[in-house]
Amino acid sequence: MNRGWLDVGLAWTLLCGAVAAGIVHIVATFATPELLRPHAFDRIAEHLPANTLVVLGQPTPQAQLLPYQEPDTHFAICSYDVSGGPVQARVALPASGWTLALYSPEGDNFYLMPGRDQRTTTINALLVAAGDEMALPPVGQRSRAAAPTYVQVPAPTGLLVIRAPLKGESYRAEVEAVLARASCGRMSPRAPVE
């Protein structure tokens, strides 16, 4: 009889140990991003000037701002800060595969605009802080064709990322020219919007 009791006790102990190990593993997995410093956003933003679009160069193993950056993709990144006023972004996405994405400091993608085939997607976005009603124009003035798209960002800082596919080496100059024409910069709250 002792042997049956011992088997049940051992099985119960092993089961409790496995459950406890699973709980510790899950807690460690979810806690690690919050405990590690600096965050990925901080590591990227520290290399970029605020409210300025930076076109990243060709990645090399020794020099790449983004980890695992593909050699067939060009990136332009703007570390925006709307705490001092709205930030205006002007971007042209000439084809499918091109994207404009906005990311919060936590890495959440809250806005995405893809390019389309056979049509250039022109984006004139005004990034404003959530709840900043002073930056928004009156409702009647929002319908003008040249008016920017107002994007309320969830946090004062974040990243605007333009992803441009490189179809081949002969397209490099064209892709770099389109990225060079894009802009991201501070806008005075009272300045007229073009």
pLDDT tens-place string over residues 14-72: 999 999 999 999 999 988 877 776 777 888 888 899 999 999 888 777 777 777 788 88
Domain match, 154 and 170 both: yes
Domain match, 105 and 175 both: yes
Q: Is 137 within the bounds of a domain? A: yes
Per-residue confidence (pLDDT) for residue 84, from 0 to 100: 87
Q: Is 126 within the bounds of a domain? A: yes
Domain match, 73 and 128 both: yes
Query: What is the model's pTM?
Result: 0.74
Per-residue confidence (pLDDT) for residue 71, from 0 to 100: 81
Domain match, 117 and 157 both: yes
Domain match, 84 and 165 both: yes
Burial of 148 from C-beta contacts in 10 A (0-12 / 13-18 / 19+) = buried
Per-residue confidence (pLDDT) for residue 156, from 0 to 100: 93
Cα(183)–Cα(90) distance, integer angstroms: 5
Apex 67 CA angle, 167 and 38, nearest 5: 150
Domain match, 165 and 82 both: yes
pLDDT of residue 141 exceeding 60, the answer is: no
Residues 6+ apart with CB under 8 A from 88: 124, 125, 126, 127, 148, 183, 184, 185, 186, 187, 193
- Cβ 180 vs Cβ 52: under 8 Å: no
Domain match, 79 and 49 both: yes
Check which CATH number belongs to the domain holding 124 and give it. 2.60.40
pLDDT of residue 189 exceeding 60, the answer is: no
Name which of 10, 35, 163 is nearest 99 in CA terms: 163
Q: Is 192 within the bounds of a domain? A: no
Domain match, 134 and 179 both: yes
Can you tell me the mean pLDDT for 169-189? 86
Q: Is 133 within the bounds of a domain? A: yes
Domain match, 59 and 89 both: yes
Domain match, 160 and 66 both: yes
Domain match, 22 and 52 both: no
Out of 6-10, 112-116, 175-179, 187-191, pick the least confident: 187-191
Domain match, 49 and 17 both: no
Q: How many domains does the chain fold into?
A: 2
Q: Is 194 within the bounds of a domain? A: no
| Domain residue limits at 73 | 41-186
Q: Is 193 within the bounds of a domain? A: no
Per-residue confidence (pLDDT) for residue 185, from 0 to 100: 92
